Structure 1
Amino acid sequence: MNEYQEKYVALKKQFEQSKGDSFSVTALYDFKESLEESEAIAAKEVLVNVYDLLNYKKDAYDLLSSIGDLSDVKIKKRLGKMKEYAENWRNDFAISKPKTEEDIQKEKEMLAELGIPTFKYHPNPLNTGAFEISEEGVVCDCCGKVTHIYYEGPFYAVDDIDYLCPACIASGKASEKFDGSFQDDYSVDDGVKDAEKLDELIHRTPGYCGWQQEYWRAHCGDFCAYLGRVGAMELQALDVMDEVLDDPMWDDEQKEMIENTVNGGHLQCYLFQCLHCGKHLVWMDCD
């Protein structure tokens, strides 16, 4: 066993024993980055395993395809198993590297530079996939201007709308012009008595795409911020699994289901965070 394999075995053990907590995920990312800088074949062989463990399925498949001995039966079998994940999952469900305060600040600055307004209930719509970037630019159906960032989430209206820019969503002009909403006002938690907060959520906040009807969590008398899709591994990496299980919405059977979710799988969790006390909550649905 070479030095790369030894370190991988140790980090994988740490990852599994901690159920993928933030410390173990950060350590794997640090190792991944060091392996990516190496030209040694032994390092690249271990990098395949690191990619696979972190759910970079396409990267794992592509790398093994390029360095593996295709005459080796074991390699061919492994590639066969990896191919489906590479084609269907790509790297879309990779476990994210835990963010530092500096990372969060840089994200805010990037969004500001791109001209994306601040959405209280959906703070990073670019990261969650609610917004897409177009290098060529598209025309916003609301204001008629060319935008390089457009909305990709649900919009409930009579008219078929292709493109909406962030500014028209934030101002409420898109909802007003097309008499539409970005979230079903019945598919939200109870406990928010301020009508203005509901109006901001459904008319001036980009929604998210779920397997079924999207649902918005609330806490401390206000709607929560939507953070994105997660599975059990992501919840462990963020150190919030215990928080989301401490929720009267879920019974014991459902809590066990949450503990076994896979991001992008048949059972999907969506992560929210209270704007006031910071508690994390999830919504869960199936395909």
Structure 2
Amino acid sequence: MLRVWVTISLLMVMVFTGIGLVVSKAWGWSEYASDEVYLIAMNTYYYDVHPSPLVLLSANGDGQTWSFAQFYRGVKNFSCSPNGQVFAVTTDEGILHVMDRSGVRYERSINLVTLGGFSVNNDGTVTTLKERFINADKSEPVSLPPDPNYNHVISASSGLALWSGDAPESLEVTTANGQVLWTIASAYQPIWLPSEALFAFIYSPGSDEHYREYLADPQQQRLFQIPFKTRFSNIFTPDATKKVVDTGHVVYLGNVVSDGDQQAVATEGKALYWPYCFLTFRPKLVLPGG
């Protein structure tokens, strides 16, 4: 079992112009690019409404927004796949819905107690802290890492999983059978990038003022530092060329590999957006009329 504790003195900081070809090949930008891009966000402007309304914002430059159907005020968990092509949602009635552009892939009843760490990967498998749901009929237990303090897990289609906690303590990469492949200290908020071959995370040795964002290759165990800081972290577009860099009354997207121009996704007076993830389709089941 290979365990690598990464400290700031060991982090490999590289200029993006030097690794651009490597990163773009691993991300597969053209493969995951889409003419339609939508951002799921929570509108926290109406602070007296609980839960806050979920909205779908067009990132295509047309300024359109859609509210989730009233039925989905009972949403317990939701997740977008890394490539933005699959969406999973559960309700307080204990029903899991997994959908893509063509409609519902599968639905099933689940035990809401098992839902910690809820995430969906590119092949439609939903992973929680205790169970992995593969389709409407098949599920399997999740192999837990040695550290019992982890309360978030994000699985890739390959079976690799990213385990982390709420605080920047450590992040573990495990294989499908639960073997620890890599451990990174002072890391949190990991997220798989579209190809599920690389992931991003935040490195924080102490305070928020010193946090840094990194890309990681778990197979080669190599790290690449994103060379500039943004106010908002780890929410990438489906082709991974842009990410959320600021939010509030307006959500802004910026380039991942350079500190360039920003694109406004939504501008609305009575809105205070908290973004979550991107999709390449509108999930009709959760929208009005669905």
Range class of TM-score, shorter chain: under 0.3
Q: Give the structure with the higher percent strand.
A: 2
TM-score (norm 2): 0.27
Larger Rg: 1
TM-score (norm 1): 0.28
Q: Give the structure with the higher percent helix.
A: 1
